[in-house]
Structure 1
């Protein structure tokens, strides 16, 4: 850290230790949801269908260290890959830091409480289904995984501050 600033404000993503990198994940589970890409428009369609290894309540991988053996298309997020990924949620810490933003107040690195992700409405927990039970993915298309947590689900203390415009 420099001048008491947290590491995510002072260390480029590519220079973070693996511990720092891993701690950026807030555990929302949105990146572990199945996505469909439209062949004609290239648009991403999010679903509420979770990877078979994701616990649908806690949003924790049930076999994190062996996930690549069990789910060969699981993505290992890296700073290099981050530049090309277009399906991460806008509230994802990796996206925010990549784009020069700060972490939201509900992020565990700021709140010091992993439950604030659920309390903020950012977590997918409790509103997703395992791919083992889902059936046809097209029947599970939803918008919320690709959006910032809504005002309806996010308590005021964790919402981004309103942008105030100066009057001319």
Structure 2
């Protein structure tokens, strides 16, 4: 006799290519960490990109979200719009980024809002920039950004990779 229980349908990020996702699905891959909204510096010789703990002028350091997301590219000339076409080329995206993980065929971690059901877990896991943004770019001249270089945005916080610890 066939099993009458319906099996749970796998989540869209496990079954769809990035190019097949709806705009709503695509946007939901963003975990709301704010790491990509930190100012970055690129070495002209090596091409290496380093992060600073200086936030974009539109970054809200508490919510870790853009204060004018629909108009961000008009207001911030170097704001990069992520797409399925460029996600694999953007080497400066943090390793914790949902887009980066899904593009690499990996699953989303326990703290991602699509898994946990709440946007608060990204903060609880120490992934977000909450409490880590030292300044807004409005207050820091470009020439002084080197004084704000940090390494944590390109690292996984302890305990954030595996299963959630209770």
What is the correspondence of 1:1-168 to structure 2 with a 5 Å cutoff?
Answer: 4-128=9-133, 129-135=135-141, 136-148=144-156, 150-151=157-158, 154=159, 158-160=160-162
C-alpha displacement at 1:111, in angstroms? 0.1
Aligned residues: 154
Q: Secondary structure at the match of 1:114?
A: coil
Q: Secondary structure at the match of 1:81?
A: coil
Q: Secondary structure at the match of 1:84?
A: coil
C-alpha contact 2:88 2:100 (8 A) present in aligned 1: no
Whichever of the two has the greater Rg, that structure is 2
Q: Secondary structure at the match of 1:47?
A: strand
> Which of 39-48 and 4-13 deviates more?
39-48
C-alpha displacement at 1:143, in angstroms? 0.1
Equivalent-residue separation in structure 1 for 2:105 and 2:161 (angstroms): 18
C-alpha displacement at 1:39, in angstroms? 1.4
Q: Secondary structure at the match of 1:80?
A: coil
The RMSD of aligned alpha carbons is: 1.4
> Which of 73-82 and 127-136 deviates more?
127-136
**TM-score normalised by length of structure 2:** 0.88
1:40-82 deviations in Å (ceiling 9; x for gaps)? 2111111101110000111111111111111121111001111
Q: Secondary structure at the match of 1:48?
A: strand
Equivalent-residue separation in structure 1 for 2:63 and 2:52 (angstroms): 18
Segments of 4+ in structure 1 off by > 6 A? none
C-alpha displacement at 1:3, in angstroms? 5.5
